[in-house]
Amino acid sequence: MMGRAQVISEQLQRVLTRIARAAQAAGRDPATVQLLAVSKTFPVADLRAAMMAGQWCFGESYLNEALPKLATLTDPAPEWHFIGPLQSNKTRAIAEQFAWVHSLASLKHAERLNEQRPVDLPPLNVCLQVNISGEASKSGVTLDALPALATAVAVLPCLRLRGLMAIPAPSTDPDAQRAAFRAVRHAFEALQAQGLALDTLSMGMTDDLEAAIAEGATIVRVGSAIFGARES
Ligand SMILES: *Cc1c(COP(=O)(O)O)cnc(C)c1O
């Protein structure tokens, strides 16, 4: 019987193969698409197994669940990305302990993260979460409000605005998946045309990573294809 670590290692390899094939199909270099392993609800032993298999970046959605994992996995420490909804009373620990935040959607939270980021650390990498029409979760900045927020966040010295993140409404129709990701890419390109130096499109999960890569994703956030189904 295969052990849990071997299952995770094999599933991780399968996801990396999916990413490589999707990139090649889109005429892109597979090295331009990074895999963020979404480890929410899974135990430290599963993250260790993924690390042993070569995975280095992990996404967590709930700070209270994440902090014990961060405290345990220190030698070596992986790169931690916060991808869940932000709350003002949680920003300090995120600013102090994470390398990335994908779910920034307000100037208030941006200013708190900027003030709370320790000055001896590199700037906190941030993506603005955009709420494209039909998005399943209500969080995220609207496309109308995006340019002003991006301009304001870009000047905060302890943050580094890297790009956009989105969670489109789930769809099994590849054309609908692509249309949603294309809207995010167009917003991203419009910000670049305004002069913002952005390099990150965080989009695509277990069920739609191929469509996201076809539309330019540079980080795909994948949980269940690596670790298995989550209990809800
Ligand atoms: C849970 C989660 C994911 C991973 O979803 P899967 O379908 O398990 O791949 C990606 N992004 C965010 C923001 C999540 O909360």
Q: What does the DSSP assignment read for 30-53? A: GGG-EEEEE-TTS-HHHHHHHHHT
For 81-128, write each residue's pLDDT tens digit: 999 999 999 999 999 999 999 999 999 999 999 999 999 999 999 999
Find the residues whose C-beta lies inside 6 A of ligand 1: 38, 40, 61, 83, 167, 205-207, 221-225
Q: Binning pLDDT at 50, 70 and 90, where does residue 136 land? A: low
CA-nearest residue for atom 12, ligand 1, is 83
Contact call for residues 30 and 19 (beta carbons, < 8 A) = yes
Helices (H), the chain: 4-25, 44-52, 63-72, 91-97, 107-116, 146-154, 174-193, 209-214, 224-227
For 210-229, write each residue's pLDDT tens digit: 999 999 999 999 999 999 99
Asked if residue 230 is part of any domain, the answer here is no
Asked if residue 185 is part of any domain, the answer here is yes
- CA 229–ligand 1 middle distance (angstroms): 11
CATH code assigned at 37: 3.20.20.10
Asked if residue 232 is part of any domain, the answer here is no
Structure tokens at 61: 């959605």
Read off the pLDDT of each residue in 147-164 and give the average, rounded to a whole number. 98
User: Whole-prediction pTM value?
Assistant: 0.97
Structure tokens at 221: 């956030």
Range of the domain at 32: 4-225
Q: Which atom of ligand 1 is nearest to the CA of 38?
A: 4
CA-nearest residue for atom 11, ligand 1, is 221
Q: What's the confidence (pLDDT) of residue 139?
A: 85
In this predicted structure, the answer to whether residue 168 has a pLDDT above a threshold of 60 is yes
Asked if residue 200 is part of any domain, the answer here is yes
Asked if residue 66 is part of any domain, the answer here is yes
In this predicted structure, the answer to whether residue 138 has a pLDDT above a threshold of 80 is no
For 35-88, write each residue's pLDDT tens digit: 999 999 999 999 999 999 999 999 999 999 999 999 999 999 999 999 999 999
- CA 207–ligand 1 middle distance (angstroms): 10
Asked if residue 231 is part of any domain, the answer here is no
75 alpha-carbon distance from chain centroid: 23
Asked if residue 143 is part of any domain, the answer here is yes
- CA 119–ligand 1 middle distance (angstroms): 31
Asked if residue 12 is part of any domain, the answer here is yes
Domain count, the chain: 1
Read off the pLDDT of each residue in 7-26 and give the average, rounded to a whole number. 98
- CA 74–ligand 1 middle distance (angstroms): 24
